[in-house]
Structure 1
């Protein structure tokens, strides 16, 4: 399995817009066992995304899906950057 935890930074006041876009555009992704979008409680412009996939290849392939491409295009104008990024190897848990 492949895991990814990443921080996304948004323009002031646009975090919920980006969250909405991410949740709508990432519903059907083959191989995705868990996709969690969360607000950072200490930074009003930050979002944390936690993902668990069957494989790194399936994660990479998801970036070419039309729905994901559309979400990226819609969110891009509101994204100011990215923070920490961690790759993990999930071994189990709920929702996996």
Structure 2
């Protein structure tokens, strides 16, 4: 499958909650969670080196439609609600269409 839709988001956790937010976002990879879907091809959670309360999320999906369909599920909405409880403010979000690159973890 090819990544045809993706986005970056920068989440700023409430003070002292960055580790908890990162751990919660990583549960998105658990069986039945959104990033465990075959349509989620990239799911990268990064923590700022200078501010541990800033978490960067990069996702790549087979299509925008697949992303929206999967995030409409009850499991995804539950995760989103939990994330929102830990986030301090509105988060910058940039959507994109990948054209190439490399990811090795």
Partner of 1:17: 20
Q: Name the SS of the counterpart of 1:6 in structure 2.
A: strand
Partner of 1:70: 78
In 1, distance between residues paired with 2:98 and 2:64? Answer: 12
Aligned residues: 95
5+ residue gaps, structure 1, are: none
Residue 61 of structure 1 and its aligned partner are, at CA, apart by 1.4
Deviation readout 1:36-79 (Å, 9 max, x if unpaired): 01001122211100111111111111211232222122222211
- 50-59 or 77-86, larger mean C-alpha shift: 77-86
5+ residue gaps, structure 2, are: 29-33
* Structure 1 length-normalised TM: 0.83
Q: Which has the higher strand share?
A: 1
